[in-house]
Each structure stands twice: as C-alpha cells, then as structure tokens.
Amino acid sequence: MSGPDLAVLGGLSAFDAIAFAVFVAAWVSYTWVADTSRLAERSVTRRMNKFRRDWSRSILTREVRIADTAMVSNFLSGISLFASTAILIVGGLVALLGAGEQAIRAMDALAFVPDTPLGVWELKVLLLIAIFIYAFFKFAWAFRLSNYASILVGAGPLVTGAWTAAAETHAERIARMMTLVAHHTNRGLRAYFFALAALAWFLHPAALIVATALVIRVLYRREFRSRALATLTDPLPPSPSVTNSSG
C-alpha cells in the first residue's frame, strides 16, 4: 500500500487495522450507552415506552380495535421493507466480491485512494455483508415480534368497568412486546447507519474513522438531543383557547 511505511498483517496495513478497531469499538460502545447504561433511560426510545404502555391500556377499553391493528400493520410493512432491502444489499455485495479486480481498478483512478490489495478489498466487502446480515436478522425478528404483538392486541380482554389485575397483566404484555419490536428495529436501523460509515473505508482508513465519528454524533443527537425527545419530555404550552361567540 502506498504512503508511509506501515506494518502489514496479511495485506492489511496498521492504519487499516486501527481504523477497523475504532469502528468496532465505537459501535459496541455506543450500543451499550444507548441501550444499557444509565444514560439510556433518557433516550427517546425509552421515553416512548410510557406511551406504549398508555396505548396498550387504552386498547383494552375499545371493543373495535381496527385502528390499533392498522397501526401494528404499519410497523410490519416498515420492518419488512428494511428486511427485504438488507437481503437485496447482501446479494449485491456478494456479486461485488466476484468483481473485485475491476472495482479496484476503478478506485485506483481516484488520486486520494491508496492502493488496495485484493484481499483487503474483499475484507471490506465482507464487513458490509456481515453488517447487513446482522440487520436482516434484527428486522426479521422484529417482524415476527410484530405478529406476536398483533395477536396480543386481538386477544386482549374488553374492559368495560373497573380495571382488573388480569387486564393490567395483558396490557403490560402488549407494551413489552411492542417495546421489543422497537428495540430490535432500532438496532437494525443502527446497523444501516454504521454500514454507511463502513463504506468510507473503501476510500481511506482515515475516512472510516471520520465517518464513524459522524455517525455516532448523528445517532447521539437524534437519540438524546433531538426535538422529538424534547417533545416527549419538555412541558408543552397550553393549547390556544377557542374564542367563544361573545368575542
């Protein structure tokens, strides 16, 4: 590989190895922060759990639940779209493995892209394949959980009088199932973001580090500093009063 003298391990430069390690460490660390740490309790995903519980309780008070089942169906359609897209991307990347030499020649035309051995190119493609396979499994499981959630919605007892312990238990089951759907969907979407960062590795290992940092920044801002989170947590101003007929 052109440029400064760097230790090479099986064709992979030391800079490439460092960039890959930074990428993996950043993904694992952010996942822990966003899903497991104390800070996760302040995320938009966790704040939505309360509204999922409120929704699950209100479901049991409605005899006709067409609107509720329609909302679950919306989850299913969105998740299936991402799962199908992940499989199509995997197929395209597998085809790209067979055209590595042509792709490397095309990349060599870019002055700022260092020379890349075929083995290193294939490793970068395999990384993307692994990411989208992971995303597919997350979306596929979320799709199945959405089906379970729709069954729980349909099987819920109708509460017409006092709220019972059995109704509370079933409402909690619905809420937890929907939370699991959101959890796995969120991890699948996160994989898409990190796949975009991994694409930068084809240009330069430094580009991978920079792109990873940008992805972390975008994810953190949307999860912990977004206007969506502010809408869920900040006190909202009272609705404008309706002007009465007397003026």
What number is the average pLDDT over the span 148-157?
89
Rounded Cα distance, 40 and 34, in Å:
5
pLDDT at 148: 92
Helix (H) or strand (E) holding 76: helix 66-97
Question: 132 pLDDT exceeds 90?
Answer: yes
- Structural domain contains residue 3: no
Number of structural domains found in the chain: 1
- Structural domain contains residue 193: yes
76 residue type, one letter: L
- Structural domain contains residue 235: no
What number is the average pLDDT over the span 156-179?
90
pLDDT tier at 183, thresholds 50, 70, 90: very high
Structure tokens given for 169: 């238990």
pLDDT tier at 171, thresholds 50, 70, 90: very high
- Structural domain contains residue 243: no
What number is the average pLDDT over the span 128-140?
97
- Structural domain contains residue 155: yes
pLDDT single digits (tens) 198-213: 999 988 899 999 999 9
Which residues form the domain of 38? 8-230
- Structural domain contains residue 189: yes
pLDDT at 229: 87
- Structural domain contains residue 245: no
pLDDT single digits (tens) 44-56: 988 898 889 999 9
pLDDT at 120: 79
Tell me which of 104 and 144 has the higher pLDDT.
144
pLDDT at 105: 65
Question: 127 pLDDT exceeds 90?
Answer: yes
Q: Nearest-CA neighbor of 193 among 207, 214, 224, 170? A: 214
- Structural domain contains residue 237: no
Give pTM, 2 decimals: 0.84
The crossing angle, in degrees rounded to 10, of helices 66-97 and 100-108 is 80
